[in-house]
């Protein structure tokens, strides 16, 4: 693919922004080469400034589950924007989106809209600490809950990709309140809680870990988190920023039938605009200002344009047969990618939950951070580049999940599988 314009834009961007990007994972550092600069997107495709077209499996890291520029979302936004973009006052739209989310997540009895997943998790933890009057937080290695200081401890996503799971700049005094365990290690979890429960405010977990690729919970793991936290009065927070409306309409909590005390959401509920949310039991959320003493605020929280994109997205997702269509597309892609790897004679492990997925270049079962790291990231980088050359846009890191949308057609899947076979054969 010719990408002279992207290359020159990247050079200029690097003079203006750290690493030339506004979020590290976009920088292609883990896979080599320089990032594509995108000029537009429609349906399952994105188009770069050199007029190359790609079948897109990043989908803005999850939000674009309807596909890009869905006509219903675009026209609702056009009408809405004519009424003004932000008022700094309540609107009926916040009520509408809140009701749609709470209908899908019965564990959320009260909800607060914010502007990102990071804000959602950061705020949920503050509320949990305020409610329990305890300081410590338990998280799992490789889980990424956004970039708030206390959560950048053994974090996944770009922190793992770039080898800084414990970021400089986070004071030791913060980090000491964050206890980390291996994901899926039920025994270690029980031992830690038995020992430290008196100081632990909450356990926060990605119920399916999308920030070290795609790692599924062992059957007993989530149940143990629920049982043990209940036993010690510890708040269980499901970070469903990625899994929400992705693993199922009701998220991982519906899929695995586990009811957390609090839930964090983002991505899909903003339909591509900046929206995050946190919520949970009434008595816990009653701590949030102005109802309670725990302060949390935001100039653009509940922004009417962002609410509109979220409402229109959920309106379509809530229709009959939508998740069956997504599931069918995902099954085609899964079967095709597995077939391509077998035919090319390359050992890979493919995992998915709903329509988030990952192919690892390893023959170990991937159940946690340690086993995810057995993947041959150099081989992944070559695969990524070969697929891009063939017009398929994957997440530029082994430690990220891929996504499909309602707009991905059978032709897209067939083209992707063909490109995968060609790429795997060439990189061998």
Q: Which is nearer to ligand KE4, 158 or 165 (CB)?
A: 158
Distance CA 41, CA 47 (A): 6
> By three-state DSSP, how is residue 149 classified?
helix
Q: Which residues of 147-180 are buried (b: 16+ CB within 10 A; e: fewer)?
A: bbebbbbbbbbbbbbbeebeeeebeeeebebbbb
Of 248, 268, 267, whose CA–CA distance to 258 is shortest? 248
| Residue 301 near ligand KE4 by CB under 6 A | no
Q: Which is nearer to ligand KE4, 121 or 180 (CB)?
A: 121
Task: Tell me the residue number closest to ligand KE4, measured at CB.
Answer: 117
Distance of CA 347 to the CA centre of its chain: 26
Q: Which is nearer to ligand KE4, 150 or 390 (CB)?
A: 150
Segment 200 to 219, residues that bind ligand KE4, using CB under 6 A: 206, 210-211
Distance CA 414, CA 377 (A): 25
Q: Which is nearer to ligand KE4, 143 or 427 (CB)?
A: 143
Stretch that binds ligand KE4, among 80-88, 112-120, 288-296, 315-323 (CB under 6 A): 112-120
Paired tokens of 188: 């270690």
Active site residue 144: yes
Segment 356 to 395, residues that bind ligand KE4, using CB under 6 A: none
Neighbours of 2 (CB within 10 A): 10
Rounded least distance, CB 321 to ligand KE4, Å: 27
# of chain residues touching ligand KE4 (CB under 6 A): 21
Rounded least distance, CB 28 to ligand KE4, Å: 13
Q: Which is nearer to ligand KE4, 261 or 413 (CB)?
A: 261
Among residues 118, 229, 296, 329, the one that binds ligand KE4 under rule CB under 6 A: 118
Rounded least distance, CB 98 to ligand KE4, Å: 18
Segment 236 to 275, residues that bind ligand KE4, using CB under 6 A: 239, 241-242, 266
In order of 161, 174, 390, the CA distances from 43 in angstroms are 28, 43, 18
Instruction: Give me the catalytic one of 48, 239, 261, 412.
Output: 239
Rounded least distance, CB 264 to ligand KE4, Å: 7
CA atoms within 13 A on the CB side of 387: 25
Active site residue 185: no
Give the residue carrying structure tokens 């870990």: 209
Q: Running DSSP on this structure, what letter comes out for residue 25?
A: G
Instruction: Give me the catalytic one of 54, 144, 256, 360.
Output: 144
Among residues 35, 117, 142, 213, the one that binds ligand KE4 under rule CB under 6 A: 117
Which string of x and - marks every residue 12-41 that binds ligand KE4 (by CB under 6 A)?
-----------x-x----------------
CA atoms within 13 A on the CB side of 363: 5
Distance of CA 326 to the CA centre of its chain: 17
395: burial class by Cβ within 10 Å (0-12, 13-18, 19+)? buried
Distance CA 198, CA 171 (A): 23
- CB proximity list for 294: less than 8 A, separation 6 or greater: 126, 127, 130, 131, 287, 288
Q: Which is nearer to ligand KE4, 98 or 356 (CB)?
A: 356
Q: Which is nearer to ligand KE4, 155 or 427 (CB)?
A: 155
Which string of x and - marks every residue 40-69 that binds ligand KE4 (by CB under 6 A)?
---------------------x--------
Distance CA 115, CA 303 (A): 9
Segment 123 to 142, residues that bind ligand KE4, using CB under 6 A: none
Of 93, 401, 152, whose CA–CA distance to 270 is shortest? 93
Stretch that binds ligand KE4, among 102-110, 113-121, 253-261, 304-312 (CB under 6 A): 113-121
Q: Which is nearer to ligand KE4, 23 or 79 (CB)?
A: 23
Active site residue 136: no
Distance CA 251, CA 208 (A): 10
- Binding region for ligand KE4 (CB under 6 A): 23, 25, 61, 116-118, 121, 144-146, 157-158, 206, 210-211, 239, 241-242, 266, 276, 400
Q: Catalytic amino acids?
A: 144, 239, 267
């Amino acid at each position: 693919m010719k990408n002279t314009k992207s290359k020159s834009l990247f050079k200029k961007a690097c003079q203006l922004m750290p690493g030339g990007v506004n979020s590290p994972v976009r920088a292609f550092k883990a896979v080599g080469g320089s990032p594509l600069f995108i000029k537009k997107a429609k349906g399952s495709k994105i188009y770069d400034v050199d007029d190359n077209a790609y079948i897109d499996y990043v989908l803005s890291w999850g939000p674009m589950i309807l596909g890009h520029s869905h006509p219903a979302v675009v026209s609702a936004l056009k009408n809405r924007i004519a009424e003004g973009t932000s008022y700094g006052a309540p609107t009926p739209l916040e009520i509408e989106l809140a009701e749609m989310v709470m209908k899908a997540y019965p564990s959320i009895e009260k909800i607060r809209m914010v502007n990102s997943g990071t804000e959602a998790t950061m705020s949920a933890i503050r509320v949990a600490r305020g409610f329990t009057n305890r300081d410590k937080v338990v998280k799992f290695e490789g889980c990424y809950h956004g970039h708030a200081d206390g959560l950048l401890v053994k974090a996944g996503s770009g922190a793992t990709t770039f080898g800084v799971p414990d970021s400089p700049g986070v004071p030791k005094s913060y980090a000491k309140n964050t206890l980390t365990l291996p994901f899926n290690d039920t025994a270690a979890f029980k031992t830690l809680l038995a020992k430290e429960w008196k100081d632990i405010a909450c356990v926060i977990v990605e119920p399916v870990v999308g920030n070290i690729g795609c790692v599924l919970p062992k059957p007993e793991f989530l149940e143990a988190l629920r049982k043990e936290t209940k036993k010690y009065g510890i708040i269980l927070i499901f970070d469903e920023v990625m899994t929400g409306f992705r693993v199922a309409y009701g998220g991982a909590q519906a899929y695995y039938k586990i009811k957390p005390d609090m839930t964090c959401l983002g991505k899909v509920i903003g339909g591509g605009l900046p929206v995050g949310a946190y919520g949970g039991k009434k008595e816990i959320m009653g701590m949030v200002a102005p109802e309670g003493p725990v302060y949390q605020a935001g100039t653009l929280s509940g922004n009417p344009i962002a609410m509109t994109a979220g409402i229109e997205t959920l309106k379509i997702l809530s229709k009959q047969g939508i998740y069956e269509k997504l599931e069918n597309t995902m099954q085609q892609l899964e079967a095709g990618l597995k077939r391509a790897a077998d035919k090319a004679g390359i050992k890979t492990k493919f995992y998915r939950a709903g329509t988030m997925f990952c192919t690892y270049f390893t023959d170990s079962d991937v159940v946690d951070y340690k086993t995810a790291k057995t993947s041959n990231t150099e081989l992944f980088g070559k695969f990524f580049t070969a697929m891009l050359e063939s017009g398929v846009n994957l997440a530029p890191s082994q430690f990220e999940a891929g996504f499909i949308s309602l707009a991905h057609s059978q032709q897209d899947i067939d083209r992707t599988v063909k490109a995968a076979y060609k790429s795997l054969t060439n990189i061998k």
